[in-house]
A = this chain, B = another copy of it.
Amino acid sequence: MAEVQRSLRSRAEELFRKLQDEICATLEILDGAEKFFQESWSRPGGGGGRTRILTEGAIFEKAGVNFSAVHGDAVESTADNPLTFFATGISLVLHPRSPKIPTVHANFRYFEQSDRQAWFGGGMDLTPYYLDEEDAFHFHRTLKIACDKHDVTYYPRFKKWCDEYFYIKHREETRGIGGIFFDYFSGNTAREREELFAFVQDAAHAFLPAYVPIVEKHRSESYAEEEKHWQLLRRGRYVEFNLVYDRGTRFGLETNGRTESILMSLPSVARWEYDVHPAPGTPEAKLEAVLKQPREWTEPGFTGWKGFSG
């Protein structure tokens, strides 16, 4: 390359900051009623972030989109072996009001440790309250296209990784219908790292096209009180996953991260009832079945996808 490249660190930070702006602007238009408010914060050890929350909107009961770029001494640092770190990322969770619209989570991050190691991590996953197969195909297909552009092995690996990561062991079910998840993704050469960054850019930019059409499709559907009740019970499972298993949440809470930014991912309201099981044959039972047994959503023979606007 003839031109002098700015460091990966500064370009990753810029990507995630701009992505927060772009996603928030789009979600505000989509919601139509409420705007995000922003809280900027700084970390005593170095760096900071912008936490953005939209609550009680027309579409979104609670939407949190967080950007951060922090640096300082690593947890493992000692006087003999001083270690520093740099981390930047975007993390979002959108909890719609309607049980007909899925909750979605996305997170992309770049991490450096003392100029020795650098890696990317991230992904996105969909948590519907009612299974709409067309939504699932659309979400996964959009992610597969972004992945395939870079490496046809990415989507199958990261789809599987996602199903395994978002698994609620004590419920023997996944949190939702998955998506992609990858971590500790690093290259040995500058060229490999550039290629990874190009992939992360495409994957992160796939978020809006993967999710927004699903919201548009279901935004005008009515729903019954029992369907809202079911949504709240499922949100209890979301809370269980995030507090019991999610590594980012647990690591953040254990290492004195910014609690309010970390727990922004929790829904406004969640319910727990003793030993609830939907009756066989109901839409609720259909959702449970796919959470117990994750499916493939991009089989080559599938031709049902026509797009939402077609």
Interface string of A210-250 (1 = CB under 8 A from B): 00000000000000000000001000100110011000001
Tell me which of B244, B250, B262, B272 contacts A268 (CB under 8 A): B272
Q: Which of A129-175 contact B (CB under 8 A)?
A: 169-171
Bound Cα distance from A161 to B221, whole angstroms: 52
Q: Is the CB of B253 within 8 A of A243?
A: no
Given A170-B259, A243-B240, A259-B171, CB of A267 within 8 Å of CB of B272: yes
Q: Is A115 an interface residue (CB 8 A)?
A: no
Q: Does A43 contact B (CB under 8 A)?
A: no
Q: Which of A251-294 contact B (CB under 8 A)?
A: 253-254, 256-257, 259-260, 262-264, 266-275
> Which residue of chain B is the closest to A53 with respect to CB atoms?
B274
- Name the residue of chain B whose CB is nearest to the CB of A232: B269
Known A170-B253, A253-B170, A269-B269; contact A260-B274, beta-carbon cutoff 8 A: yes
A64, CB-defined interface residue at 8 Å: yes
A268 touches B260 (CB 8 A): no
Q: Which residue of B lies closest to A276 (CB)?
A: B260
Q: Are B274 and A264 in contact (CB under 8 A)?
A: yes
Q: Does A192 contact B (CB under 8 A)?
A: no
Q: Is the CB of A236 within 8 A of B266?
A: yes
Q: How far is the CA of A272 from the CA of B264 in the complex (A)?
A: 8
Interface pair A271/B269, CB less than 8 Å apart = yes
In the bound complex, CA of A51 to CA of B274 (Å)? 10
B273 x A268 contact (CB < 8 A): yes
Q: Write out the residue numbers on chain B whose beta carbons fall within 8 Å of the beta carbon of A275.
A: 39, 260
* A39, A244, A264, A274 interface centre (most CB from chain B within 10 Å): A274
Chain B residues with CB under 8 Å of A267's CB are 272
Residue of B nearest to A263 (CB): B272
In the assembled complex, the CB of A65 is this many whole angstroms from the nearest CB of chain B, namely 12
A-B contact pairs, 30 of them (CB 8 A): A39-B275, A51-B274, A55-B273, A55-B274, A64-B274, A169-B253, A170-B253, A170-B256, A170-B257, A170-B262, A232-B269, A236-B266, A239-B239, A239-B270, A240-B243, A243-B243, A243-B244, A244-B250, A260-B274, A260-B275, A266-B272, A267-B272, A268-B271, A268-B272, A268-B273, A269-B269, A269-B270, A269-B271, A270-B270, A270-B272
Q: Given contacts A170-B257, A236-B266, A269-B269, could you give 16 more A-B pairs where the C-beta distance is less than 8 Å?
A: A39-B275, A51-B274, A62-B272, A169-B254, A232-B269, A240-B263, A243-B243, A243-B244, A260-B274, A260-B275, A264-B274, A266-B272, A267-B272, A268-B273, A269-B271, A270-B270
